[in-house]
Amino acid sequence: MEHFSFIASLAALAVSCLTIWGKVTHPVVDNREQIQTLKDLHREETQALEARIQKLESKIQHDWDSFAKQEDVNSMLLKSQWAIMSHLLDGNHTAQLTACRDEAEKLLFKKGGSV
């Protein structure tokens, strides 16, 4: 009978140890799954933000290109106004008027639609 109680107590001890071991290791597995899920979500959000940043940078570059083209148009308009004023004042400067006309033709008719 003494052997039986000793074996029963060893079995109870083994069951208790296994129960404790299961409780100790089970949350670690759950935490790893949660951490992996969070990492996956973070990766997806990061990729979405990187795509949005790239799209916005492309739009900003397009805006800067438009500003540069607009500066060319403004420069051409100022030159032509100067040439017209100079011609009206003294009747000369026909070469400058011709150059402004050619520049306006080149800029407005070839590039004007993309400004």
pLDDT one-digit tens code per residue, 37-86: 999 999 999 999 999 999 999 999 999 999 998 898 888 888 888 888 88
- Alpha carbon distances (Å) from 19 to 6, 11, 14: 20, 12, 8
Burial-class residue 115 by CB neighbours within 10 Å (0-12, 13-18, 19+).
Answer: middle
Q: What is the mean pLDDT of the chain?
A: 83
Does the predicted TM-score (pTM) go above 0.85?
no
